[in-house]
Amino acid sequence: MRSIVEFDNHGSRLLGTYHHPGVRQDKRQAAPVDPGTAFVFFNAGHMPREGHAGLMVQAADHLASQGYPTFRIDLPGLGDSPGVVPASIDSFFRMMHNGLHVSSVLTVLAACRQQYGFSSFVLGGLCGAAVTSILASVQAPLEIAGIVALELELFHPRPESRLRMGQALWSRAAWLRLLTGHGRLGVHVPVPGSLLPKALGRALLPSNTNFELVRALEDFLSRDKPMLLIMASENRRELFYDQVRQAVFGRAAERNIHWRSIAGTNHIFTTGMAHRQVVDEISSWSASHFAPCARDPVPVVEPLVAVRVNMQKDSAVEQPLPRQAASGQREGQRP
């Protein structure tokens, strides 16, 4: 069962859906003081509502059926939540990588804590949602108990320039690829050379690295909290994550990040019918780290709008998109 939810966001609104946990209700049983951990998913980058083929809606429905309360929230200007978004996709992603939506995410957590009684949350989603969730974890270290990151970008999204002969000698990106085994000559690097990434650490990272995001993820891992990372195999995002992992994260990543690589698919996991595999991975990881909710928590305060239940689609509030969001959507998905 799904309900429409609406939260106040500093005078504006954030809308989304609450996917109720599939638990048996006993009216004689008092609601627990702490109903447990809730999952909260956000928009995939600039895509409104369900995004690409409804991946996070599928995940939310499946988690709810397993007893995990799950929210899927539209961020400002995306989907049903009003707000202004940058005029171009490039501007949007640049601002998103710099924390554009962090304050809105913190607002959602505060509202869920106040209205439903949740004390901890697992945040995440695809691409931009993963970035925002990690950045938000710095400001809510106690509340954020885990992260689900699909196709995480640890770099600022700008085109890679092809290096001319000789330029690679002065390129940190080229040296990082070489020393982490991802360059064309990486297989020829001797063992002492392969230890250099750990020795050089962050100094080896290229200029397009999102250093704030890397620091935020390093901070999250230092608290020994779990993270699920699902990547399309051998694409630019996965290769760069592995390079940063070797240079910066080290054993903290081995302890706390469950990294799954899916072959034969694309950035949005539509190629090769990978959605089912992604949902199964999220379900299995969740069961390994979090207990399902014993009871569907009842809001302890009245929600701002009436709740409509038994929705068949995840876009029930009919409201036109802002002009900027509509134009951004027409530009199509990112490569």
Structural domain spans, the chain: 2-158+209-330, 160-207
Q: What are phi and psi of 134, to 5 degrees?
A: -70, -45
Mean pLDDT of the chain: 80
Decide if 81 contacts 14 (C-beta within 8 A): yes
Which residues in 103-115 are b (16+ Cβ under 10 Å) and which e? ebbebbbebbbeb
Read off the pLDDT of residues 163-178 as tens digits, 9 standing for 90 and up: 555 544 445 555 555 5
Whether 196 shows a pLDDT value over 70: the answer reads no
* Mean local confidence (pLDDT), 18-31: 64
What is the architecture, at CATH level 2, of domain 2-158+209-330? 3-Layer(aba) Sandwich (3.40)
pLDDT higher for 163 or 280? 280
Q: What is the pLDDT of residue 127?
A: 95
| pLDDT tens column, 78-132 | 989 999 888 898 999 999 999 999 999 999 999 999 999 999 999 999 999 999 9
Containing 70, the helix (H) or strand (E) segment is strand 70-73
316 band by pLDDT with thresholds 50, 70 and 90 = very low
User: Are residues 28 and 40 in contact, defined by beta-carbon separation less than 8 angstroms?
Assistant: no
Q: Which tokens go with 123? A: 């945040």
CB 1 within 8 A of CB 20: yes
Radius of gyration of the chain (CA): 21
Mean predicted confidence (pLDDT) in 132-156: 96
Taking residues 281-286, report their average pLDDT: 98
pLDDT tens per residue across span 208-233: 899 999 999 999 999 999 999 999 99
